[in-house]
């Protein structure tokens, strides 16, 4: 079974020793007292050590050859060995204790709940006097005239006996039980004060100031939209695209003019000459024009001749005309191509042209055309409004980018130069050519898409750390926000750029490291070991402060130690 060897320092008090016993992780504890260890020359302290071992379920062995310590260990049944290689033994309890020491131990035990009678019995058992105590009985004094000098000597002896201090007998304790109780309570309070002062109250605040250096960083990197291509060691980063949809609107004045009056209507006579059987079709929408005024056919009409029924020919009685072929005619309803009174033209047989393969003329006037001019949207109006949207949006590009970046998750590293905005097709209300109500404005709406690329910030820092080639004993304490310089697309959803930043690095110092180095040590030793362990900390600014003036050691309990690490750039 393993044992824990604890070397007691000359300045250690009983509270320090008890704390070390309680904090030990081994079941067997060997205490090695120093020379001139006054703390081990008190039966009270030896009993406290024995009790600490029992309460912690540990076996405590004193490693000493000091006879006085061995004698006290025998009283408390505490095992002793002369060296770490010898087997421990319990010394025989054949020591005669002084009455005041025994009383002290008895009072201490009373604090554990013993009765007054048990205190007295403990004192008597501890004392074990080896001298014969003579009691004064009611002996009759013999008077003799022949021995006056002897009688005088006896009186002197009696007077001396009366002047001797009375011993602490059972009767004395019973007679002074209140005093004994007060003394016991006082001793208990004193012990509790000692435990608080040296076991509970001690604490330490450690302020470590780390000296650092600032280093500039610049490395080429590649970026991809394909996750499987990511390789941090080679400087290949996966891009995540973040988007935000916005609606851009602007009102504008329409400047177009349009006649929205009624369109003139009428009929056009169409005709064709057939030399043989055939058909001529006038499709709906066919144009008939007279003096640049266009009319369109409202519906389809057909002219046809079977090639034999001459009676159907309108020129059958006119031989000279019939030479041109069989004349077949019909009527087509037409509507003016645009509103306006100018389409109200009179009947005329001349000046007509048509897209249909027929001849045409009008034998009735066109009528019903009216004029009504309104304001409408024209394309130039839309072009001007779109230019205004683009101009205004360029002025707020930084704001738009900030809004987009605000929606990103924590840990996202933003490539600011990748920000772009794409505008959709503009939509005008009313549309081009449509009327704008009097006193109102038209509105142009454009859907925009803001986008920006991000990469994992932790992976960027990992890349920077690897490329910086810091030793295991150094770490990066602060990294300024990296940025990508010359972010450029090279095709196939791949990009290149240069990662640039600066970082502050210094010795790797953690709270646990500091606590493990200084706990349980004297203030001077703790400070010296701390400075030796970390060569990069500022010796002038690194401080160790204790909770009370009487505390000269760092507590063993890590919860009693507060560590503050300050990075000095």
Q: 3-state DSSP call for residue 475?
A: strand
Report yes or no on 501 lying in a domain: no
Classify the phi-psi angles of 113: left when phi > 0, otherwise alpha if psi is within -120 to 50, otherwise beta: left
Same structural domain, 108 and 186: yes
Report yes or no on 13 lying in a domain: yes
Same structural domain, 14 and 152: no
Query: Of the residues 163, 180, 198, which one is the last residue of a structural domain?
Result: 198
Report yes or no on 491 lying in a domain: no
Q: What is the distance between the alpha carbons of residues 320 and 187, in angstroms, rounded to a whole number? A: 157
For the chain, the first-to-last Cα distance in angstroms comes to: 51
Same structural domain, 22 and 73: yes
Same structural domain, 174 and 271: no
Same structural domain, 122 and 48: no
One DSSP character per residue, 395-416 reads: HTHHHHHHHHHHTSPTTEEEEE
State the pLDDT at residue 149.
52
State the pLDDT at residue 99.
34
Helix 116-127, helix 177-195: angle, nearest 10: 80
Q: For the beta carbon of residue 66, count every other beta carbon within 10 angstroms.
A: 17
Q: What is the DSSP letter of 145?
A: T
Query: Of the residues 308, 341, 371, which one is the last residue of a structural domain?
Result: 371
Report yes or no on 394 lying in a domain: yes
- Structural domain containing residue 10: 3-95
Please say whether the beta carbons of 81 and 52 come within 8 A.
no
State the pLDDT at residue 159.
52
Report yes or no on 126 lying in a domain: yes
Same structural domain, 367 and 391: no
State the pLDDT at residue 281.
94
Same structural domain, 298 and 365: yes
Same structural domain, 381 and 248: yes
Question: 430: cis peptide before it, omega within 30°?
Answer: yes
| pTM across the whole model | 0.44
Same structural domain, 137 and 168: yes
Same structural domain, 247 and 394: yes
Q: Which residues face 196 on adjacent strands? A: none
255-272 pLDDT tens trace: 999 999 999 999 999 999
Radius of gyration over every alpha carbon of the chain, rounded to an integer in angstroms: 58
- Where does 469-558 have alpha helices with state H? 511-518, 523-533
Same structural domain, 121 and 78: no
State the pLDDT at residue 250.
93
Report yes or no on 499 lying in a domain: no
Please say whether the beta carbons of 475 and 441 come within 8 A.
no
Report yes or no on 216 lying in a domain: no
Q: 3-state DSSP call for residue 73?
A: helix
State the pLDDT at residue 116.
36
Domain count, the chain: 4
Same structural domain, 185 and 155: yes
The per-residue pLDDT string of the chain (569 residues; one tens digit each, 9 = 90 and over) reads 678 889 888 888 889 899 989 899 888 999 899 877 788 888 888 899 989 888 988 899 999 988 888 888 888 888 999 888 888 888 876 544 443 444 444 444 443 444 334 433 443 444 343 433 333 334 334 444 444 555 555 555 555 555 545 555 656 666 666 676 777 677 776 676 566 655 565 788 888 888 888 888 899 999 998 888 899 988 999 998 888 888 889 999 999 999 999 999 999 999 999 999 999 999 999 999 999 999 999 999 999 999 988 989 999 888 788 888 999 999 999 999 999 999 999 999 999 999 999 999 999 999 999 999 999 999 999 999 999 988 887 777 778 878 887 777 777 888 888 888 888 899 999 999 899 988 899 999 999 888 888 888 888 888 888 888 777 778 788 878 788 888 998 877 789 999 988 888 888 888 888 998 888 888 888 888 888 888 778 777 788 888 777 677 888 888 888 888 888 77
Query: Of the residues 198, 214, 231, which one is the last residue of a structural domain?
Result: 198
For residue 90, what is the domain's CATH number?
3.30.750
Report yes or no on 53 lying in a domain: yes
Q: Which residues face 503 on adjacent strands? A: 215, 479
């Amino acid at each position: 079974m393993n044992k824990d060897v604890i070397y007691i320092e000359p300045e250690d008090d009983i509270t320090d020793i008890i704390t070390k016993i309680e904090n030990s992780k081994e079941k067997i504890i060997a205490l090695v007292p120093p020379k001139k260890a006054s703390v081990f020359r008190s039966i009270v302290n030896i009993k406290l050590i024995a009790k600490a071992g029992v309460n912690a379920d540990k076996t405590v062995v004193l490693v000493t050859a000091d006879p006085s310590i061995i004698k006290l260990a025998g009283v408390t049944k505490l095992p002793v060995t002369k060296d770490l290689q010898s087997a421990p033994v319990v010394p025989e309890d054949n020591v005669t204790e002084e009455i005041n020491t025994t009383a002290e131990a008895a009072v201490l035990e009373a604090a554990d709940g013993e009765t007054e009678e048990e205190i007295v019995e403990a004192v008597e058992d501890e004392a074990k006097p080896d001298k014969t105590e003579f009691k004064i009985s009611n002996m009759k004094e013999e008077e003799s005239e022949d021995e006056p000098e002897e009688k005088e000597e006896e009186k002197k002896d009696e007077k001396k006996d009366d002047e001797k201090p009375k011993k602490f007998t059972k009767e004395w304790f019973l007679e002074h039980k209140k005093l004994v109780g007060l003394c016991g309570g006082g001793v208990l309070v004193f012990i509790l004060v000692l435990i608080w002062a040296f076991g509970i109250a001690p604490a330490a605040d450690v302020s470590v100031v780390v000296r650092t250096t600032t280093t500039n960083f610049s490395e080429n990197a590649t970026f991809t939209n394909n996750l499987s291509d990511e390789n941090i060691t080679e400087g290949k980063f996966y891009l995540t695209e973040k988007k935000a949809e916005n609606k851009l609107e602007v009102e504008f004045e329409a400047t177009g003019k349009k006649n929205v009056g009624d369109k003139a209507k009428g009929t056009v006579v169409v005709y064709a000459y057939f030399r043989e059987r055939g058909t001529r079709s006038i499709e709906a929408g066919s144009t008939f024009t007279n003096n640049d005024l266009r009319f369109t056919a409202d519906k389809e009409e057909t002219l046809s001749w079977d090639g034999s029924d001459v009676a159907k020919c309108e020129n059958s009685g006119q031989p000279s005309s019939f030479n041109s072929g069989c004349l077949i005619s019909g009527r087509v309803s037409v509507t003016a191509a645009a509103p306006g009174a100018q389409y109200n033209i009179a009947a005329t047989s001349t000046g007509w042209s048509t897209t249909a393969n027929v001849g045409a003329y009008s034998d009735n006037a066109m009528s019903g055309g009216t004029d009504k001019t309104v304001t409408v949207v024209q394309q130039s109006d839309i072009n001007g409004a779109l230019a205004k949207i683009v101009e205004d949006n360029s002025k707020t590009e930084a704001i738009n980018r900030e809004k987009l970046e605000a929606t990103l998750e924590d840990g996202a590293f933003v490539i600011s130069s990748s920000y772009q905005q794409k505008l959709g097709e503009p939509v005008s209300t009313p549309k081009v050519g449509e009327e704008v109500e009097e006193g109102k404005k038209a509105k142009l709406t454009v859907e925009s898409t803001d986008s920006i690329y991000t990469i994992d910030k932790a992976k960027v820092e990992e890349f920077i750390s690897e490329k910086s080639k810091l030793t295991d004993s150094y770490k990066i304490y602060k990294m300024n926000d990296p940025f990508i310089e010359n972010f450029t697309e090279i095709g196939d959803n791949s990009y290149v750029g240069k990662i640039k930043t600066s970082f502050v690095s210094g010795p790797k110092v953690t709270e646990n490291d500091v606590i493990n180095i200084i706990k349980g040590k004297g203030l001077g030793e703790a400070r010296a070991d701390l400075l030796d362990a970390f060569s990069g900390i500022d010796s002038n600014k690194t401080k160790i402060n204790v909770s009370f003036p009487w505390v000269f050691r760092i507590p063993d309990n890590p919860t009693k130690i507060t560590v503050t690490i300050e990075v000095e750039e």
